Amino acid sequence: MNKPLIDVLAGVRQAPPPVWMMRQAGRYLPEYRAVRDKAGSFLNLCFNPDMAAEVTLQPIRRFGFDAAILFSDILVIPHALGQTVSFVEGEGPRLDPLTTGAALKALPRQCDDTILQPIYETVRRVKAELPEGVTLIGFCGAPWTVATYMVAGQGTPDQAPAKRLAAADPEAFAGLIDTLVEASADYLVNQLDAGAECLQIFDTWAGSLPPEDFERWCVAPTARLVKMVRAKRPGTRIIGFPRGAGRSIPHYVDATGVDAVSLETAIDRQFAREQIQCRVPVQGNLDPEALRTGGETLDRAVDEVLAAFAGGPFIFNLGHGILPDTPVEHVERMLARVRR
């Protein structure tokens, strides 16, 4: 049977477009919160294949999305590189910050692979249980975005700690980026071997760098990552999400070779259609805030996204992750409207 999402990634428009949501397994679902409570910590959930497979499949069962995304986090890579990582309820990730070039140079060059094995087991279990026609997406964080958390030890509004260290000791920072490129390539190849059918690279903070640094820390490392994965597993379909990169996205597409791009909410739609969708299939763009609001605001927002992009190869999704206080009925309403 054909998989609509894979067909779109190959450049073939589908009507209606395939649909999934970033963070579709998450706190807005009561069944997720139940498993999350049982797991104790967020990382326990990520590293328990029974529970991680269960929460990956929950939104597929409830809504019939066209894709499942592996339940894990971009910060399992720093964890497997030996950095202490935890998630504080209601606040977000906390890592032991790496504040000096010496601290970066002291990091191991490779992940402790035994730590990541349970994640590959999750992929195998999900793949075995996935309904026909549903695509399994593997993922990692882009090197720059992962590095911002490793250096700052938490999320930051402006990524200043990582920028500062990259400026103070570019050689050590480049070493960290290289380590992340190689570790992420292995991690993605292992996900593919376990059953992932395509990949997404999340670069949440791609928009915070000036052009030269965007080139050095986002575009070039992502290009190397894509190339390394395709050298080992030719033909792998990869979606890039350079959030905030706006008018630099056409260049990002050409330079990295990604097969598709996930669009943030704020992008100029005419620009995205004429300069991005003419190059590669696009995904995303619905405002998570409109989904939370629901009602006619949501209907209008859905219609605007469809009017802008559904004429070409398009995957319906949000411009960023679903907000935790989004009512489940709003997701049902969105799906009904996309698929009507």
Rule CB under 6 A: which residues touch ligand CP3? 22-27, 36, 42, 69, 71-75, 87, 92-93, 139, 141, 155, 202, 204, 321
Helix, strand, coil percentages in the chain from 3-state DSSP, rounded to 5: 55, 10, 35
Q: How far is the CB of 296 from ligand CP3 (least distance, A)?
A: 27
Chain-centroid distance, C-alpha 17 = 19
Task: Write down the catalytic residue from 149, 187, 224, 252.
Answer: 149
What one-letter code names the amino acid at 137?
Answer: I
Q: 270: number of CA atoms within 13 Å, CB side? A: 0
Query: Which of 28, 32, 66, 73 is flagged as catalytic?
Result: 73
> In this structure, what are the phi and psi dihedrals at residue 314, rounded to the nearest 5 degrees?
-150, 140
Positive or negative, the CA dihedral 33, 38, 41, 45 is: negative
- Which CB atom, from 69 or from 98, has the smaller least distance to ligand CP3? 69
Q: Closest separation between CB of residue 243 and ligand CP3, Å?
A: 7
Q: How far is the CB of 295 from ligand CP3 (least distance, A)?
A: 24
Select 58 or 256, whichever has its Cβ closest to ligand CP3: 58
- Minimum CB separation of residue 93 from ligand CP3 in Å reads 5
CA dist 200 and 69 (Å) reads: 9
Of 39 and 185, which CB lies nearer to ligand CP3 in the complex structure? 39
DSSP states of 195-251 as a string? Answer: T--EEEEEETTGGGS-HHHIIIIIIHHHHHHHHHHHHHSTT--EEEEETT-GGGHHH
Q: Which is nearer to ligand CP3, 73 or 197 (CB)?
A: 73
Q: How far is the CB of 141 from ligand CP3 (least distance, A)?
A: 6
Cβ-in-10-Å burial (0-12, 13-18, 19+) of 310 comes to middle
CB-wise, 196 or 270, nearer to ligand CP3?
196
Is 61 designated active site? no
**Smallest distance from the beta carbon of 326 to ligand CP3, in angstroms?**
12
CA dist 80 → 37, 116, 147, 183, 239 (Å): 24, 7, 14, 9, 24
Closest by alpha carbon to 184, among 135, 221, 153? Answer: 221
Catalytic residue among 23, 164, 269, 273: 23
Rounded Cα gap, residues 204 and 337, in angstroms:
28
Residue 23: active-site member: yes
336 CB-side CA count, 13 A:
10
Nearer residue to ligand CP3 within complex by CB, 34 or 307:
34
- For residues 119 and 75, is the Cβ–Cβ distance under 8 A? no
Is 73 annotated in the active site? yes
Active site residues: 23, 27, 36, 73, 149
